[in-house]
Amino acid sequence: MTTPVLSVRDLVVEFPTRHGPLTAISGVSFDLAAGEILGVVGESGAGKSLTGSAIIGLLDPPGRVVSGEIWLQGVRIDQLRGEDMRVLRGRQVGMVFQDPLTSLNPLYTIAQQLIETIRAHLKVSASDARKRAIKLLDDVGIPAASRRIDDYPHQFSGGMRQRVVIALALSAEPALVIADEPTTALDVSVQAQIIEVLKEQCTQRGASIMLITHDMGVIAEAADRVAVMYAGRIAEIGPVKDIIQNALHPYTAGLMGSIPSLTQEENRLVQIPGAMPRLADMPSGCAFHPRCERVFEHCKRHRPELISVGTHEVSCWLYKEAGGEATTP
Amino acid sequence: MSQVVTFLTSEFFYKFRRSPVAVVAFIVALLMAIAAIFAPLLATQNPFDPGSLNLMNGFSIPGEPNQFTGETFVLGTDDQGRDVYSTILYGLRISLFVGFSAVMFAMILGATLGLVAGYTGGRIDSIIMRIADIQLTFPAILVALLIFGIAKGITPPSYRDEVAIWVLIIAIGLSDWVQFARVVRGATLVERNKEYVQAARLIGRKPMGIMIKHILPNTLGPVLVIATISLALAIIAEATLSFLGVGAPPTQPSLGTLIRVGQGFLFSGEYWILLYPAATLLVLALSVNLLGDWLRDALNPKLK
Amino acid sequence: MNAPDTKPLIQVSQLTREFDVSKPWLNRLLEREPKQFLRAVDNVHFTINKGETLALVGESGSGKSTIAKMLVGLLEPSVGSIVFDGQAMRTDTSADMQALRKRFQMIFQSPYASLNPRWKVGKVIAEPMTMLAVELSARQIQRRVDELLALVGLSAPDADKFPHEFSGGQRQRIAIARALSASPEFIVCDEPTSALDVSVQAQILNLMRDLQDKLGLTYLFISHDLSVVRHMANRIGVLYLGALVEIADSKTLFTHPVHPYTRMLLDAVPDLSMSGRERKRVEGEIPNPINPPAGCTFHPRCPFANSRCKSEVPQLKTYGTGVASCHAVEEGRID
């Protein structure tokens, strides 16, 4: 079995406050194989963006990684600081964020930004770098790339800008691309285009993608596997089709049911009562238990760990290792 | 009661408790305010009542018994036999009264104009802002001097001393309103586009109602910060004007006037007539200023 | 959903709104530039029947928010009229307009910006009553606030709290309570769940439907999310760059879309049921609304465009139970 591109083990992220530390991510573990697209889906407050930030070392202080291991292409990176992290970030990990306006420096042309990044991580001459940059823009679908490369970010439309951001993320030929809500700020008709570009270009270059979003539709289109996060932990992880059609964790099932269908008439949407708990008011045991229809006593006191059930991994007391329903009291 | 409890356990009060600068500055400012309010009770005499003075007490050295009358004055006396400690207390009163009133005046005038300018927009906004810009090209002190001069010209001489304090307040207030107007206008422009304002318009609320009931409460945060720092500046402005002789008159002297009077005696050795009022002014202005600075940082959500 | 009445409650005709987006006079003088206008809403017609939910769907620049504002008297139309139960909608605060205002309300997109952060929740909910239902006593208002809080799934003590003490979903419930307080018949919902998480959205949408059944409300539901609109609406209008390109029954629109833009939009929506349906690649992006393409504004992106489309603006024509404005459909060039 080849080494996964990214391997996260028991990641814990805390925010110290005057009332004591708040645990924002409490024990997240997953692998991302080479060439795979892993979706990380969750509602606001679930900790999905934080997971992405923690992996590339861009946590906003005072947040910090308290424990856990992060391995990138077989090398441990969670202990890296400063300059080492910066080099790594550009070369091995590319990033695509939600807002293309803040990802691109408005004062420099696209050419300048692309070439700077390319030359910072690859040993090529200036003219070679420019050629590479033009090819990149062409690949992501910018028409008349050789002319438009000298434009400024504000001269591009929203969708075009996001394509440029993808080009920038891929310019140093990274092994991993972390995309955090890459289509949320775009119109529906453009979202589909951007997802397609992201998928195509990363697959072509052999880069894996960690796709973080709240939009299950985007995951359905783009991802191979999906991790569903709830209150700082992974509730369920598995192949996209399996998760959508046969969710095991009650939260995942509720989530899928609450999304209105494009193809069927429904009278009522599935409704999960309550809301995701605040970090300061985390319930004991399983964080989802106050909202769960199938809760029983054990759930209130003990926190479930991720176990394999068929093609999924679930953290829920309803299930037992090696498939099948658990012997619930 | 529960509101007090809520305040004491709030984030704001926690930050306050943890900042030694803020706590000390607040206590000092508070003590001075109390001293000013209770001046008649705390002073040993009313230094501006000529009948209670004894010329023989003049130039007493601080802490030492007077060579003629044997009375001891903790901070000494001036040329007329006025107890410096008492004059400081009364002077503090005037300084704080003028400072507060000037800031109140500037705040009310500036906030009103800023609110109207921001909400109405268009011509009225342009006119108000141009007036503000023009005023900013003149140094505040000059504006105050100008107003003072005009007031002096139109007031009969016998009333001048009485009216001086009010003219001072108006002068300093008029030189200071612009920053309030700008801040309130900025906040108004932001709030005006928010949906709660649209919701209010939707039910037919008139612009005046929206400005006062909806927008104004949301502009008060930054106003509070500016008001505190303005207070320190107003106190110093008043002292400057009084020092220049166009402020509080000797019959109702502020700390600035006392400094002016004391300056004449500095080189003849009676340093205490200048030193103590000056030190008081310094401490007062510094503590209010530090408090204002801390408040600005504490209320700034981006610095978290 | 209830079967709606056939008497139109709202009639919108020739609704147009232009904005002057010219540079300041001095700049125009020095740069020799003409005035520039943005036509946000272009000659829109529709009716809404009592008891039904009409949805307006569109992407950015479609004009849906502008239409919403005009429908509730927050904005004056440049051309055209809005008639509410026989009475013309205006933006002034005269006595007859105030009487009309009691009958409609709006729910906004942002649960954070739509409630005044300095007002207590009870005051927020009571405001429409204090402004429009002046005959109520303070006691009656207080009681009604408690009723409304219960109706939207909150509780009476919540009236003394401030908005920031509530989550996004709860705030939107407060906004709904406010919208209902003066007992309106018609509510414009401008993207009411776009800022909410999916599971919270489900709660709010269910609540809105329950309230509609219970109180006989009429909704104009504005959204960019087609699956939400399918769930909520009887009829759907599709907007592109300020113009209505198609109106159809909810079911018909999704099974047999007529206009090429509608088809493209449906193709672009991700398929959660993973049915593996055949999807066409989406072309281009929305053009700059200040300088829209000539003729049919959709023609640069349309696979069926011909020379007529580039010069002549299509009119709304009836097809089956709906309407659409497309030359290709009219000429029978598409099925």
Q: Is A226 helix (H, G, I), strand (E, B) or coil?
A: strand
Rounded CA gap, C176 and C243, in Å?
A: 29
Q: What is the pLDDT of residues C192-218, one digit of tens each?
A: 999 898 889 999 999 999 999 999 999
Which chain C residues are within 8 Å of A223, Cβ to Cβ? none
pLDDT confidence of residue B111: 95
Interface of B with C in 135-164 (CB under 8 A): none
Contact C202 A192 (CB under 8 A): no
Per-residue CA distances from B50 to B45, B47, B53, B81, B86 (Å): 11, 7, 6, 10, 14
Residues of C with Cβ-Cβ distance to B202 under 8 angstroms: 72-74, 101, 105-106
Query: How far is the alpha carbon of C122 from chain B, nearest alpha carbon, in Å?
Result: 15
- A278 burial (CB, 10 Å; 0-12 / 13-18 / 19+) is exposed
Rounded Cα distance, B174 and A114, in Å: 54
pLDDT band at B64 (very low <50, low <70, confident <90, very high): confident
Residues of C in contact with B214 (CB under 8 A): 116, 119
User: How far is residue B197's CA from residue B215's CA, in Å, rounded to a whole number?
Assistant: 8
A329 pLDDT band, cuts 50/70/90, is very low
Say yes or no for a CB contact (<8 Å) between C206 and A259.
no
List the structure tokens of C274.
Answer: 């993973």
Which of B183 and B302 is assigned the larger pLDDT?
B183
Please give, rounded to a whole number of angstroms, the shortest distance from the CA of A142 to a CA of chain C: 11
Q: What is the pTM of this model?
A: 0.87
Bridging pattern class, strands C79-84 and C322-324: unpaired
Please state, in angstroms and rounded to a whole number, the distance separating the CA atoms of residues A213 and A216.
Answer: 8
The CA distance from C233 to C131, in Å, is 31
Phi (first) and psi of residue C104, to 5 degrees: -135, 160
Chains with 3 or more CB pairs closer than 8 angstroms to C? A, B
Give yes or no for residue C276 having a pLDDT over 70: no
Q: Is C286–A220 a contact, with Cβ atoms under 8 angstroms apart?
A: no
Q: Do B198 and C132 touch (CB under 8 A)?
A: no
Query: What tens digit of pLDDT does each residue of B139-163 get?
Result: 878 887 888 788 878 888 777 777 7
The pLDDT score that the predictor gives to residue C5 is 53
pLDDT of residue C159: 93
Task: Give me the residue from C60, C200, C272 closest to A275, CB to CB.
Answer: C200
Chain A residues within 8 Å of chain C (Cβ atoms): 43-44, 157-160, 187-193, 196, 214-218, 220-221, 240-241, 244-245, 254-263, 265-266, 268-273, 275-276
pLDDT at A221: 86
Instruction: Dump pLDDT digits (tens) for C285-296.
Output: 888 888 889 889
Residues of A in contact with C291 (CB under 8 A): none
Outline where B121-159 has alpha helix (H).
Answer: 122-136, 140-154
**Under a CB-based contact definition with an 8 Å cutoff, are residues B267 and B174 in contact?**
no
Shortest alpha-carbon distance between residue C72 and chain B (Å): 7
B202 closest CB neighbour out of C106, C115, C116: C106
Indicate if the pLDDT at residue A89 is higher than 80: no
Q: Which residue in the set B203, B217, B218 is minimally distant from C101, CB to CB?
A: B203
Write down which chains contact chain A via at least 3 CB pairs under 8 A. C
* C239, HSE (Cβ side, Cα atoms, 13 Å): 30
Q: How far apart are alpha carbons B46 and A91 in whole angstroms?
A: 79
C-beta atoms of C182 and B203 within 8 A: yes
Facing residue for C132 by CB, picked from B203, B206, B217: B203
Using pLDDT thresholds of 50, 70 and 90, give the confidence band for residue B222. Answer: confident
3-state helix, strand, coil in chain C (%, to 5): 35, 20, 40
Touching partners of B (3+ C-beta pairs < 8 Å): C
Decide if C73 touches B, using CB distance below 8 A. Answer: yes
Q: What is the mean pLDDT of residues B281-293?
A: 90
* 8 Å CB contact of B214 and C116: yes
In chain B, which residue's Cα lies nearest the Cα of C102? B203
**Mean pLDDT calculated for residue range C304-317:** 88
CA-nearest residue of chain A to C288? A157
Tokens of B140: 């505040």
Q: What is the pLDDT of residues A257-295, one digit of tens each?
A: 888 887 777 778 888 888 888 888 889 889 999 999 888
Position A322 confidence tier, pLDDT thresholds 50, 70, 90? low
Tens of pLDDT, residues B88-131: 888 898 889 999 999 999 999 999 999 999 999 889 999 999 99
Mean pLDDT within B246-250:
80
Mean pLDDT of C291-303: 89
**Which positions ≥6 away from C30 have C-beta within 8 Å?**
none
Give Cα C42 distance to the centre of its chain.
15
Q: Who wins on pLDDT, B4 or C145?
A: C145
* pLDDT score of B302 more than 70: no
User: Which residue from C115, C119, C127 is facing B203, i.e. has the nearest CB?
Assistant: C127
Question: Whole-angstrom Cα distance, residue B253 to residue A41?
Answer: 71
Token output for B33: 């305010």
pLDDT at B75: 82
When pLDDT is averaged across residues C230-254 and rounded to a whole number, the result is 93
Nearest to B86 by CA among B36, B27, B50, B31: B36
Compare all CA atoms of chain A with the CA of C210 and give the residue at the minimum distance.
A268
Q: Give burial (CB, 10 Å; 0-12/13-18/19+) of C224.
A: middle
C-chain CB neighbours of A214 within 8 Å are 197-198
Residue B287 has pLDDT above 50, yes or no: yes
Looking at the complex, report in whole angstroms how far the Cα of residue B180 sits from the nearest Cα belonging to chain C: 20
| pLDDT range class, residue B192, cuts 50, 70, 90 | very high
Give the nearest chain A residue to C203 (CA atoms): A271
From the list C198, C307, C324, C315, the residue with the least C-alpha distance to C263 is C324
CB of B143 within 8 A of CB of B174?
A: yes
Angle at the Cα of A186 from the Cα atoms of A268 and A266, rounded to 5 degrees: 10
Interface test with B, best of C25, C97, C118 (most B CBs within 10 A): C118
**Contact with chain C for residue B123, Cβ under 8 A:** no
The beta-carbon neighbor of B204 closest among C97, C110, C178 is C97
Quickly state the pLDDT bin for B304 (edges 50, 70, 90).
very low
In angstroms, what separates the C-alpha of B254 from chain C's closest C-alpha? 39
Q: Are A217 and C169 a contacting pair at CB < 8 A?
A: no
pLDDT tens sequence across A44-63: 888 899 999 898 888 888 88
A93-136, pLDDT tens digit by residue?
A: 988 988 877 888 999 999 999 999 899 888 889 999 999 999 99
**Which B residues, 208 through 267, put their C-beta within 8 Å of a C-beta on chain C?**
214, 217-218
Give the closest of B196, B206, B214 to C114, CB-based.
B196
Work out the pLDDT band at C128, boundaries 50, 70, 90.
very high
To the nearest whole percent, how much of chain B has pLDDT over 90?
31
Inter-chain CB proximity A275 and C167 less than 8 Å? yes
Which of C79-107 are b and which e, b meaning 16 or more Cβ less than 10 Å from the residue's Cβ?
ebebebeeeebeeebeeebeebbbbbbbb
> Is B10 an 8 Å CB contact of chain C?
no
For residue B74, what pLDDT is reported? 80
Among A175-179, B63-67, C236-240, where is mean pLDDT lowest? B63-67
d(C-alpha C58, C-alpha C286), whole Å: 11
**C109 in contact with B at a CB cutoff of 8 Å?**
yes
Label residue B41 by pLDDT band (50, 70, 90). confident
pLDDT confidence of residue C222? 95
Phi and psi, residue B10, nearest 5°: -75, 165
Nearest to B204 among C69, C101, C117 (CB): C101
The pLDDT tens digits for A22-36 are: 999 999 999 999 889
C37: three-class secondary structure by DSSP: strand
Min Cα separation C171/chain A (Å): 13
- DSSP label of A280: G
Share of chain C above pLDDT 90, in %: 57
Pick C131's closest partner by Cβ from B194, B204, B218: B204
Q: Closest Cα to residue C157, out of C120, C126, C129, C182?
A: C120
Q: Are C161 and C174 in contact (CB under 8 A)?
A: no
Q: HSE (CB half, 13 Å, CA atoms) of A100? A: 25
The backbone region for A243, taken as left when phi is positive above 0, alpha when psi lies in -120 to 50, beta otherwise, is alpha
Min distance B120 CA to chain C CA atoms (Å): 15
pLDDT value at residue B17: 82
pLDDT reading at B294 higher than 90? no
